[in-house]
Amino acid sequence: MSGFGIEKLPRIVRGEGSYLFDTAGKRYLDGSGGPAVFSLGHAHPEVNAAIVEQLSAVAHGYRYLFTSDALEELTQVVKDLCDGHFRDVIFCGSGSEAVEGALKTALQYFAARGLMRKRHFIGRRRSWHGNTLGALSVSDFSERRRAFEGSLLDVEFVSSANTYRPPSGVGPQELAQYLANELDQTITTLGPDTVAAFIFEPIVGAAGGVVPAPEGYCRAVREVCRRHDVVMIADEVMCGAGRSGTWRALKHDGVVPDIMCIAKGLAGGYVPLGATLVAHDIAGPILDQHGSYQTGHTFTGHTAACAAGLAVQRIIARDGLIERVRDSGTQLKSAIRDALARFDEVGDVRGRGYFIGIELVRDRAAKSPFPRERGLSSDIGVRCFEDGLICYPCAGNVDGTNGDTIIIAPPYNASDIELDELVSKLARGVAGALSRS
């Protein structure tokens, strides 16, 4: 089996806006941007032209020998989009690399301060941060971790922050403080002098099926980290770069992390690109003591990738697409909720902007999941795909094994007609799969 249950993958030949086409001429509406990557759809002529122009001049200037206009201009654009909260932007080739760079930067920060005991990381249950060993270590996604257990970092995990599935006996109004207290107690138990960083997704993606942080949660855990001298790392690889209606997902929560990871929507999938953003207070000791960040790779700051990212971000700003995502996203979520309201198995429709999750349950009142063997999310994904809609099915969101969610994350520039098609085909896919449940 390959993909999410497709026996034989079709061969793609071209893209056009929100659509992809295979060798048989079949058209697919990209309703999830792959895994929430394609912020500007496919084959945008201006982005392609910017990449070709850069390649015609030079593909890449190695970072220890050269800087470039594309690198410096994109760095400034990202800093401005983050309202000047970050001193440095370390570009890389993927979200996993961005997270790896964040973990290493947190460790280097404490090394620069002579606090070599602060080596421990804390993550959250039902989280996903990437496929490198470090990023995998701080992720709680059992299916993706299983083959590598025994070679992963020793990481402590606290509860997921999920209003739909809170800890037993904890009400919605109590949830944020309950979780902050849990983090506080975990740091205290481990010893504040041993904990380097807490990493979390402001809106959990694949591991939870789009789970926004509860109201007040981010501010509460920010204060816990500050009190214990623990670096706060925000993984915005999936939910950031405008996907949730603000360029920084945490801007919605009124919080600035010490280190932030971005990727996916940054260059919109045109060329692989991610980045680790470092706040001024974290950068200072590192640069004072070590002179530079001890993370990065051969293709760090890749010139053509930066040119692609620069073009994508300029178009998004010029066309007001983050504002469109913010305003139209509310309507899209409502349209999905209305289209699926007739199904008792739809337990929750949640998210912000063009980052929307649908959770399927066997019993709505009990919120009990379908058994893993049913493969409901995969079934929906296959049915939608056959109908010409790409969505993103995920499993295991409840306990690492059971649970079914569907993620919807269309391009920011998808038309209203395309969004209507998305909703219609999604509802058909859900109906078809539930007809045999």
Distance of CA 225 to the CA centre of its chain: 22
118-132, 142-156, 415-429: range with lowest mean pLDDT: 142-156
Residue 2 has pLDDT above 60, yes or no: no
Domain with CATH 3.40.640.10 in the chain: 47-318
At residue 437 the predicted structure's pLDDT band, cuts being 50, 70 and 90, is low
What average pLDDT does this structure show over 419-430? 98
Residue 1 has pLDDT above 50, yes or no: no
Q: Provide the β-strand partners of residue 320.
A: none
Q: Is the dihedral of CA 256, 266, 101, 133 positive or negative?
A: positive
What average pLDDT does this structure show over 133-158? 94
- CATH class of the domain comprising 47-318: alpha beta
Q: Provide the β-strand partners of residue 232.
A: 198
Per the CATH hierarchy, to which homologous superfamily does domain 12-43+320-434 belong? Aspartate Aminotransferase, domain 1 (3.90.1150.10)
Q: What percent of the chain has pLDDT over 70?
A: 99
371-396: pLDDT as tens digits: 999 999 999 999 999 999 999 999 99
Q: Do 243 and 325 touch, CB atoms closer than 8 A?
A: yes
In angstroms, the CA 222 to CA 244 distance is 20
Domain with CATH 3.90.1150.10 in the chain: 12-43+320-434
Mean pLDDT of the chain: 96
303-357: pLDDT as tens digits: 999 999 999 999 999 999 999 999 999 999 999 999 999 999 999 999 999 999 9
User: Is the whole-model pTM more than 0.95?
Assistant: yes
In angstroms, the CA 155 to CA 229 distance is 18
187-230: pLDDT as tens digits: 999 999 999 999 999 999 999 999 999 999 999 999 999 999 99
